[in-house]
Amino acid sequence: MELGKLDIYKLSLNLSKEIWEVYSSLQTDLKFNIGNQVIRSIDSIGANIAEGYGRFHYKDSLKFYYNSRGSLWESKHWVYLLYQRKLIKKEKYEKLLEDLELLGKKLNGFINSMKEKNDK
């Protein structure tokens, strides 16, 4: 399977697209503090999936998938702060959170299936 067909990777790219729209709508001063943080954390989800996918040994790959999961949780934090500080509307917050939750579940499933497959 190629990376572009991997469901968790496609979901991460969609999240990056969604958060880019939020970032683009922020005032310049907000882009340089909270905007950069949320962009970096969400983009890091997909970047770590891609890097893990390209690794030869599955234990090396798992490290990057775990990093991706950490970035996902960091992203939840930043998205919550965007909402709490009234920088995004409730509907956008709920959509982003729903997408992050779905990706988290699928990422956990992917990690577990890799471990099961390779621990035999």
Asked if the structure places residue 16 within a domain, the reply is yes
The CATH number linked to 54 is: 1.20.1440.60
The answer to whether 12 and 110 are in contact (CB under 8 A) is: no
Tell me which residues of the chain have a pLDDT lower than 50: none
In this structure, is residue 120 part of a structural domain?
no
| Domain, as residue range, for 101 | 6-111
| Six token digits for residue 60 | 């090396």
- The domain total for the chain is 1
Is residue 47 one of the residues assigned to a domain? yes
- Would you state the pLDDT for residue 120? 62
Indicate the pTM of the whole model. 0.93
Asked, for residue 117, whether it belongs to a domain, the answer is no
Considering the domain boundaries, does residue 73 fall inside one?
yes
At 118 the pLDDT is 78
Residue 102's pLDDT is 98
